[in-house]
Chain A
Amino acid sequence: MSGPRFPGGDPSAGLPEAGAAAPPTSGTAVPYPADGRLAATVERLRGEVRAAHAAAEGRALIELAKGVIVERLGCGPAQAARQLAELADRAGLSRLELAADIINQAARDRMAEAADEFVRTAVDEPAATAPDASVAVRLRTAESAALSAGDTQAVAESLLRHALEPLGAVAVAIWTTGPDTSLSLRGHAGFGLDEAARWHYVPPGVTTAARQALIGRRTVRYASLAAAGIPSIGRARHPDGGRVVVPAGTGGRIHGVLEICWARPLDPLPQAVERQIEALAELCAHTLEALPEASPGGSSVPGGFPVPGGHGAPALAELSDGLYDPALVLTPHLDEAGKLVDFRIRHANAHFRDPAGRPRGSVDGALLLEAYPATAGGSELFERIERVYATGEPFRARRTRLTALVDQVPLASLADISISRYGASVLLIWRVEDESARLASLLQHAQRLGRVGAFEEDVVAGDITWNGQLYELFGRMPTEPPVALRDLAAHAHPDDAGTIRRFLQKVLHQRRVGSTAFRMLRHDGVTRHIRVTAEPAPGTDGGLQAVRGAYQDISAQHWTEVALTATRDRLAATEEAAEERNRLTLQLQHAIMPPAKPPLDAPGLDVAVRYRPAESDSLVGGDWYDAVVLPSGKVLLCVGDVAGHGVEAATGMVVLRNALRGLAVTGAGPGQLLSWLNSVAHHLTAHLTATAVCGIYDPGSRTLRWARAGHLPPVLVRGDEALDLPLLHGLLLGALAEAEYEEAELRLEPGDTLLMYTDGLVERRDTAVHDSVAQLLTVARQPSDSLERRLDQLLARSKSDTDDDTCVVGVQVS
């Protein structure tokens, strides 16, 4: 996997990338800022010292200091030795102390800081630990010994002797962490061989003092191990003794744990001492990192992960390609100071899908925080990875929120996350919450929102399963037993018992899907309207095995329906009222103008009438006719049409018809009568117009005087001829306050027929009135054996299409 994207070499080795100068085996040597060559020389000399396996740690220190002097003064080793002795004598120091000072100045590392701080503190706080000018010597000696030691056991012994016993400690243990977070005892001093053998291995998951420090990634101090209730090596011998346990790590990874044991309870340590211990832990970490995995003489590491290439990234990449979930192989990315700052995405597996939709190649090889800046934010994913890398303790979590920035817009998704460390690599696997799980969760919400509770009842075994929502619907605690279908009636309004019985009959006996609604009476006194739907599930033998179904709280719907029903009832009432009104209008019209022949007894004159109401009851109109013998012996003939429909039109019709009858008694002519009728229409009835033809027939002279008010003129049928009378001057009734009406006189001959009609007979939307009237005249010319028959023909052949009511009066001179 390491391609051209990794110019800095193989970061999986835990090395600092390009620009870092410190060799892997001696991370404590940070280059002296003033002179890089000097630091390199110190380093080289240190290596020589290690190679020589100096018998005495003190001598090694002196040799190291001599090396520094040789480099600085440009003299030979013998001169340097003399110089060192002279300087020591002049300063009143031992040669060893001076050597430590010289090395501290040459290598401004943490060890030097710890020593300096200790001295400073000792001067500032005289009451503290007895001033011990040889702290620097001690630490340097311990360091030198540790670096030259061939194994961790030697390191432990050296640390105890040179650095920890002066602090009052009685024993020390150095643990290493396995890939499975197990702990192996790699070095010990002061516990005894038997105790060390017992504690040579701590399996993962067993909580010990060392594990607390590992998991917590911080120094842990126990004032008393027994009081803390934590097991660890040597507790039997020093139950009340204090412990300080320090994670030993480099480059963001914890390689082991340094555990220091005191015989007595431990007070809080001065800060300076803590710094010393941390410096020692760092020393341990470098030692552990540098030493081979399997230490000579130590126990084998159980569960060791056999990774080709030592660090596992390529093998892990291959392994990850076999996974069906998206996975990333990460290796640590250190800054120049060797501090873990990021992870390099070494491999994105075949199933990897970038949440932001980028191609796999654009993520592969990138730094994690650069590719996914949001991982450092609220999701804490980066911190998780860091922690797993440091401790080796795998992390697994369901439904973790992952945030990805897509075009600077954070998109969150839920995923199951798995993070594990293999060798020096971290494998990050996630599974975006799958569809079925999401649907199940959706369904759950839908049931809650829809107030639906589901059940399944095994009618053979009697087992009943309810979902949580159903308990709520029934107002029962989840600890209470569910209600069996057969007992449902006991939880319902007594009036609904019959309904429920029929429902159960259908489902349990007829084995059909059933559904019913009932009023549920809950313990808590609440009444809910519930709909239950259930279906039978047959068993293997064909008999009824189970019933499953759902209850739904339809109380809200129920009341909506009640409201709707009430509204419908009101509407129906309105409709009935309207029908009643139309019926009354019709009755009124029939009462005034019987559809049958009116009683008329005029000599020499046959009268026939037809009234055809509109087909729609609501369109009952205002047509009227009248044919009445006046006191003078003359005959009033009239048809009229009040504009509009309904009660108002019918009322207007009654007013006008009766008015005309009354006025006609005065003996006035038709023009005068219409003029008066106009005044009636205009003043007596608001917003009412009407048209009318009015004729006064004198049977003696067979003359007809007539006038019209906006109405179609009468039609005269004489022999096989039919013609409409002239359009006399005359405005419709009610339009103006006063109007005058032209009168005409017509002398009729025996056999003549006069037809007066309303426009319902001729009105057509697509035909001008003129053409309609022409059509009527054509029909009127047809010979007919009687007046009655002629009127029937007229109605039958009427081509009107406006569903207006129609009125025809025919008079025939005999």
Chain B
Amino acid sequence: MSEREPNLDVDVEIRDDRTAVLTVEGELDMETAGRLEDLLAEQFGQGRRRLVLDLSALGFMDSSGLNVLIRAVNRARETGGDLYLAAPTPAVRRILEITGVTTMTPPHDGVADALAAAGGAR
């Protein structure tokens, strides 16, 4: 694992002053989870509480990555927002199911659905 190059790209798209879409691509693991956590923290810091994570290009996620998602959900909800998961790949969806995170924050089929859910929460 230590031989691996960190492999994670996150693209942040600001939709409005309360909403952002973060497209997470690659592998979310012990090496890379910190980066996503920083980017999420940045969005929280700028007052955006409705964050959509586009997981359609995320191939792998381990417990470190999962923890980042869980903490982000909790933080968003503490301040009246939420974290919306969109289009997880089957592998990631399975992890979310096994760990029960799907019951905590049910994934949406796509970014549009997630944004619609985020908009409805407004």
Interface residues of A (CB under 8 A from B): 616, 619, 641, 643-645, 687, 689, 691, 709-712, 727, 729-732, 735-736, 739, 763, 765, 767-770, 802-804
A644 lies within 8 A of B67 (CB): yes
- In chain B, positions 78-96 with a C-beta closer than 8 Å to chain A are 90-91, 94-95
Residues of the B chain whose Cβ atoms lie less than 8 Å from the Cβ of A712: 98
- A489 to B45 Cα, complex, angstroms: 68
One of A616, A687, A735, A736 near B2 (C-beta < 8 A): A616
Between A and B, 24 residue pairs with Cβ closer than 8 Å are: A616-B2, A644-B67, A689-B70, A710-B98, A710-B99, A710-B100, A710-B101, A711-B98, A712-B98, A731-B99, A731-B100, A731-B101, A731-B103, A731-B104, A732-B66, A732-B70, A732-B101, A735-B70, A735-B104, A768-B94, A769-B94, A770-B94, A802-B1, A803-B1
Given contacts A712-B98, A730-B100, A732-B101, whether A768 and B66 have CB atoms under 8 Å apart is no
Confirm or deny: B27 has a beta carbon within 8 angstroms of a beta carbon on chain A: yes
- A711 to B62 Cα, complex, angstroms: 13
Given contacts A768-B91, A770-B94, whether A643 and B103 have CB atoms under 8 Å apart is no
One of B30, B71, B104 near A645 (C-beta < 8 A): B30
Confirm or deny: B97 has a beta carbon within 8 angstroms of a beta carbon on chain A: yes
A727 lies within 8 A of B98 (CB): yes
A709 lies within 8 A of B98 (CB): no
- In chain B, positions 41-80 with a C-beta closer than 8 Å to chain A are 59-60, 62-64, 66-67, 70-71, 73-74
B101 lies within 8 A of A735 (CB): yes
- A763 to B66 Cα, complex, angstroms: 14
Extra inter-chain contacts (4) besides given A689-B66, A736-B104, A769-B95, CB under 8 Å: A710-B99, A731-B99, A735-B74, A736-B74
Interface of A is mostly: loop
- A711 to B98 Cα, complex, angstroms: 6
Residues of the B chain whose Cβ atoms lie less than 8 Å from the Cβ of A767: 91
Nearest CB of chain B from residue A739's CB, rounded to whole Å = 8
A729 lies within 8 A of B103 (CB): yes
A643 lies within 8 A of B94 (CB): no
Residues of the A chain whose Cβ atoms lie less than 8 Å from the Cβ of B70: 689, 732, 735
Residues of the B chain whose Cβ atoms lie less than 8 Å from the Cβ of A732: 66, 70, 99-101
Residues of the B chain whose Cβ atoms lie less than 8 Å from the Cβ of A687: 67, 71
Contact with A along B8-21 (1 / 0, CB 8 A): 00000000000000
Interface size on B, residues (CB 8 A): 26
Residues of the A chain whose Cβ atoms lie less than 8 Å from the Cβ of B74: 735-736
- In chain B, positions 23-40 with a C-beta closer than 8 Å to chain A are 27, 30
B71 lies within 8 A of A763 (CB): no
Residues of the B chain whose Cβ atoms lie less than 8 Å from the Cβ of A729: 100, 103
One of B2, B59, B63, B103 near A689 (C-beta < 8 A): B63
B97 lies within 8 A of A727 (CB): yes
Given contacts A731-B104, A802-B1, whether A768 and B90 have CB atoms under 8 Å apart is yes
Residues of the B chain whose Cβ atoms lie less than 8 Å from the Cβ of A709: 100
Residues of the B chain whose Cβ atoms lie less than 8 Å from the Cβ of A763: 62
Residues of the B chain whose Cβ atoms lie less than 8 Å from the Cβ of A804: 62
Nearest CB of chain A from residue B71's CB, rounded to whole Å = 7
Residues of the A chain whose Cβ atoms lie less than 8 Å from the Cβ of B30: 644-645
Looking across the interface, which residue of chain B has its beta carbon closest to that of A803? B1
Looking across the interface, which residue of chain B has its beta carbon closest to that of A801? B1
Nearest CB of chain B from residue A622's CB, rounded to whole Å = 9
Looking across the interface, which residue of chain B has its beta carbon closest to that of A621? B63
Nearest CB of chain A from residue B41's CB, rounded to whole Å = 13
Residues of the B chain whose Cβ atoms lie less than 8 Å from the Cβ of A691: 63, 99
- A321 to B38 Cα, complex, angstroms: 78
Residues of the B chain whose Cβ atoms lie less than 8 Å from the Cβ of A739: 100
- A7 to B97 Cα, complex, angstroms: 105
Most B Cβ at <10 Å: residue of A616, A710, A711: A710
Looking across the interface, which residue of chain B has its beta carbon closest to that of A710? B99
5 closest A-B pairs by CB: A731-B100, A710-B99, A643-B63, A768-B91, A732-B99
Looking across the interface, which residue of chain B has its beta carbon closest to that of A691? B99
Residues of the A chain whose Cβ atoms lie less than 8 Å from the Cβ of B104: 731, 735-736
- A170 to B91 Cα, complex, angstroms: 126
- A768 to B88 Cα, complex, angstroms: 12
- A768 to B62 Cα, complex, angstroms: 12
Nearest CB of chain A from residue B119's CB, rounded to whole Å = 25
A769 lies within 8 A of B91 (CB): yes
- A689 to B101 Cα, complex, angstroms: 12
A619 lies within 8 A of B91 (CB): no
- A731 to B97 Cα, complex, angstroms: 9
One of A644, A727, A765 near B60 (C-beta < 8 A): A765
Residues of the A chain whose Cβ atoms lie less than 8 Å from the Cβ of B63: 641, 643-644, 689, 691
Nearest CB of chain B from residue A709's CB, rounded to whole Å = 7
Residues of the A chain whose Cβ atoms lie less than 8 Å from the Cβ of B90: 768, 770
Residues of the B chain whose Cβ atoms lie less than 8 Å from the Cβ of A769: 91, 94-95, 98
Most A Cβ at <10 Å: residue of B1, B67, B98: B98
Residues of the A chain whose Cβ atoms lie less than 8 Å from the Cβ of B64: 643-644
- In chain B, positions 95-116 with a C-beta closer than 8 Å to chain A are 95, 97-101, 103-104
A643 lies within 8 A of B66 (CB): yes
Residues of the A chain whose Cβ atoms lie less than 8 Å from the Cβ of B67: 643-644, 687, 689
Nearest CB of chain A from residue B116's CB, rounded to whole Å = 25
Residues of the A chain whose Cβ atoms lie less than 8 Å from the Cβ of B101: 710, 731-732, 735
Residues of the B chain whose Cβ atoms lie less than 8 Å from the Cβ of A641: 63
Residues of the B chain whose Cβ atoms lie less than 8 Å from the Cβ of A736: 74, 104
Looking across the interface, which residue of chain B has its beta carbon closest to that of A731? B100
Nearest CB of chain A from residue B86's CB, rounded to whole Å = 19
- A455 to B4 Cα, complex, angstroms: 54
Looking across the interface, which residue of chain B has its beta carbon closest to that of A764? B60
Looking across the interface, which residue of chain A has its beta carbon closest to that of B102? A731
Residues of the A chain whose Cβ atoms lie less than 8 Å from the Cβ of B73: 735
Looking across the interface, which residue of chain B has its beta carbon closest to that of A641? B63
Residues of the A chain whose Cβ atoms lie less than 8 Å from the Cβ of B1: 616, 619, 802-803
